[in-house]
Amino acid sequence: MINPPPSGGLAVNLAGIAMKNPVMSASGTFGYGQEFARILDLNLMGAIVVKGISPRPASGNSTPRMVETPAGLINAIGLQNPGCDTFIAEYLPFLRQFQTPTIVNIWGTTLADYAEIAGRFEGVPGVHGLELNISCPNIKAGGMAFGIQPDMARQAIKAARRATRLPLIVKLPPHLFSIAEFARLAEDNGADALSITNSLPAMAVDIEQRRPILANITGGLTGPAIHPVALKLVWDAAKAVKIPIIGMGGIVSAREALAFILAGATAVAVGTASFTDSPR
């Protein structure tokens, strides 16, 4: 329908990030690459998107943090991460040895955080792009608020845009009043690409114990259950903007990936399926 593959095979150029194929990891499901390098040749990937990084370390939520639901799972990890300095010093060097671009997923709880974290990767070798998470449903203080209110989203994107010259990918949440409007808003404020979509707000209840299963009470639904929802969002966004879109949500095989591409995505990211699938 759109985006015919470039002659020469699977290679794509995503907002200036040259990828040998359009398949990326989805943030938070692939650690910092090291974890999976034990079973997968990271050189085979189109790009590696690492777990969300904030300016300072974050300890995340209490446990239980994950529950399996029909054809999916709900997670409320709470964006636990070692913080930007430790990431650059201890995790990034490993990723530099591969012929695969690294994209750093970034988040904050204030506008100042967004500017700070985006600026921290200027000139840092081995970082090829930033993915701005304005859509995590787990952080009451900030992530959610930025993601679903147009004004907040605009300010966060602007703050990050001013702070970096790296390709800036804005990751949109699914539960928006209008995905087309948000996609345009991101494009107008300097996004070079869009990631669609993040997890769906969700919860699970233990009916015997009569209480929510997750310590955080609510979390985000991912996996095959959300694929049709994500596909429709990509379809709607692709009609609204010219910047490239990374489709994600419930990919378990080439079929779902191709559906995203046909709906208008330039690249795709695999998340939850990495917990189950293996190269062999």
Partner 1 sequence: MLTEITPVVRQQGLGHDYYLLTLHAPEIARTVQPGQFVHLRVPGMESGILRRPFSVFKAEHDELTLLYRVIGQGTNAMRRLQPGEEVNLLGPLGHGFPPIEQDKFPVLIAGGYGAAALYLAAARAARRGMICMGASTATDILCSRDFQDLDWEVRLATEDGTAGTRGLVTEVLDQWLAQRPENCIPEFLACGPNGMLRAVSRRAQAGGWRAWVSLDRHMGCGMGACLACVQKVRKPKPDGSEEWQWVRLCTEGPVFESRDIIWDEND
Ligand X SMILES: Cc1cc2nc3c(=O)[nH]c(=O)nc-3n(C[C@H](O)[C@H](O)[C@H](O)COP(=O)(O)O)c2cc1C
Which region, judged by CB under 8 A, interacts with partner 1, from 73-81, 85-93, 108-116, 191-199? 73-81
What does residue 114 show for φ and ψ, rounded to 5 degrees?
Answer: -60, -45
Taking a C-beta distance cutoff of 8 angstroms, is the pair 6, 22 a contact?
Answer: no
Q: Tell me the C-alpha to C-alpha distance, in Å, between residue 140 and each of 60, 84, 133, 144.
A: 12, 21, 14, 7
Which region, judged by CB under 8 A, interacts with partner 1, from 58-66, 173-181, 198-206, 241-249? 58-66
Query: Residue 112: is it exposed, middle or buried by C-beta count within 10 angstroms (0-12/13-18/19+)?
Result: exposed
Select the residue interacting with partner 1 from 23, 24, 29, 116 (CB under 8 A): 29
Q: Tell me the C-alpha to C-alpha distance, in Å, between residue 8 and each of 11, 12, 261.
A: 7, 10, 17
CA dist 207 and 213 (Å) reads: 9
Residue of 14, 74, 136, 196 marked catalytic? 136
Taking CB under 8 A as the rule, does residue 210 contact partner 1? no
| Binding partner at 155 among partner 1, ligand X, none, C-beta below 5 to 8 Å by kind | none
| Binding partner at 26 among partner 1, ligand X, none, C-beta below 5 to 8 Å by kind | ligand X
Select the residue interacting with partner 1 from 21, 56, 64, 212 (CB under 8 A): 64
Q: Tell me the C-alpha to C-alpha distance, in Å, between residue 134 and each of 37, 172, 197.
A: 28, 7, 11
Helix (H, G, I), strand (E, B) or coil at 241: coil
Q: Which is nearer to ligand X, 67 or 97 (CB)?
A: 67
Which region, judged by CB under 6 A, interacts with ligand X, from 86-94, 108-116, 147-155, 247-255? 247-255
Binding site for ligand X (CB under 6 A): 26-29, 51-52, 75, 77, 79, 105, 133, 136, 171, 198-199, 222-223, 226, 248-251, 270-273
